Chain A
Amino acid sequence: MSAFLDGALRPRLSVTLGVIAFALVEIAALCVFVTPDVVARLEPGVLARNVDDDGAALTHALVTAQREPARSAHVALVGASSMREAFWHIDTLRDSVADALEQPRETTLGAFNLTSGGQALGESLVVLGALPETPRGVVVLGIGPGTLFADRTDLQTRFEHPTSALAVDEMNAVARVLGMPERTATGLYFLDHLQFFVSRPQVPVWLALGAPEPRRHRYLGRRQWTDERWVERVDALRVGFEQRAQDDALVSAHLVALEQTLTHLQRQTQWRPILLEPPLAPRARPALTEARSAARARVAPLAARLGVPLVDLDAEAALVDEDFHDFTHLRSEEAMRRYEARLAALVARHLSEPNPSTVRP
């Protein structure tokens, strides 16, 4: 026993060299063995720093989607937290779409939830560009003043310090259009996303003990904003949107990047894009209608030119103030299911129509 303790506790030059060698070998092994294939085989929560780590959830959802077995059709939802909270579950949405199309569930229709809290429009476009091949698909992108009117400094931080491991080349392609910083691609997945992985040192613990299930909704069951909160927040939101809308160069760059991505989807894939304005509480409309109209005025001409639907489902889903926690996030399962039903009907309608971009005269 004393010999063991002597070996385990006494400092030695050989131990120092051994520790350095061990660390180098482990880092080399991480560079070689951490690949998208490996990440796709992990449980969804293993990469997550905590149950609300949407960056990890998006990373896992995308690499999993890219490795899904072939199906005859797909649906994908992309956008920020307002989109994430607008539907109950990607599987129930898929089932509703399959039922509307009178197709068997699961076996024919694949569905991907690629929403994440705080997802910038630039990140959404990278996700759209990384969608897997499909014989027929509908992808719904949530877009409104919250994402079109971005804060330049915040966006710069998102490109410099991404919270999800999206492909560096695709990130750089969008960054070039938006005038955002680019990163160096090494071709090694672990090194390309080093910031993402070193921010999540708990991975070995989750692997050993089992990872907690990621939380799907953040606002479920939460109370509505109080009157004081409304007064305090809605005006600040309005002012924020108006200020960010003044950055015409960035808004225009977003529209250029959006057009490139939508055109790519239409011409080179079988994905049919739909632009969806996220839910907006009736109570927030007086203050935020101007911002929403300003965003719509910029997006609608582009959507019309490309033949991409720009849709607002709030009225169809009969959303009322009681359905919302705040100005945009739904707070009850019932409201989410109601909105999801309208969303499923929209997706089913577009899935059942021939894609105009692929119809040849």
Chain B
Amino acid sequence: MISPRVARAVGIALQIIVLGQLLVIALGGLYAASAGARVFRYAGF
């Protein structure tokens, strides 16, 4: 049986990892948008 203390710590760690990853993706997206980063897309002739 996992103690409530450990379960809470696991929950906090999970929250940190998920939100941390989302923060990195959001920062990357903001930078890409502000810098005008481009991925060439085939437009056809």
* A contact patch SS: helix
Neighbouring B residues of A326 by C-beta, 8 Å = 45
Whether the Cβ atoms of A6 and B8 lie closer than 8 Å is yes
How many of B's residues come within 8 Å of A, CB to CB?
33
Minimum CB distance partner of B37 in chain A: A195
Whether the Cβ atoms of B31 and A7 lie closer than 8 Å is no
Which of the 9-residue segments A47-55, A246-254, A347-355 touches chain B?
Answer: A47-55
Whether the Cβ atoms of B16 and A201 lie closer than 8 Å is no
Contact residues, A145-192 vs B (CB, 8 A): 157, 160-161, 163
Neighbouring A residues of B38 by C-beta, 8 Å = 157, 161, 163, 195, 199
Given known A-B contacts A27-B24, A54-B40, A201-B25, A194 and B15 have beta carbons under 8 A apart: no
Minimum CB distance partner of A162 in chain B: B38
A117 at the interface (CB under 8 A from B): yes
Mark contacts of B8-20 with chain A using CB atoms, 8 A cut-off: 1 yes-contact digit, 0 otherwise.
1111111111011
What are 18 sample pairs from A and B whose C-beta atoms fall under 8 A apart? Answer: A2-B4, A3-B5, A4-B11, A6-B8, A7-B8, A7-B11, A7-B13, A8-B11, A19-B23, A23-B23, A26-B20, A55-B40, A160-B36, A163-B39, A195-B32, A196-B37, A218-B42, A325-B45
Which residues on B are within 8 Å of A, measured CB to CB? 4-5, 7-17, 19-21, 23-25, 27-29, 31-32, 35-42, 45
Which residues on A are within 8 Å of B, measured CB to CB? 1-9, 12, 14-15, 18-23, 26-27, 49-50, 52-55, 116-118, 157, 160-161, 163, 194-201, 218, 233, 325-327, 329
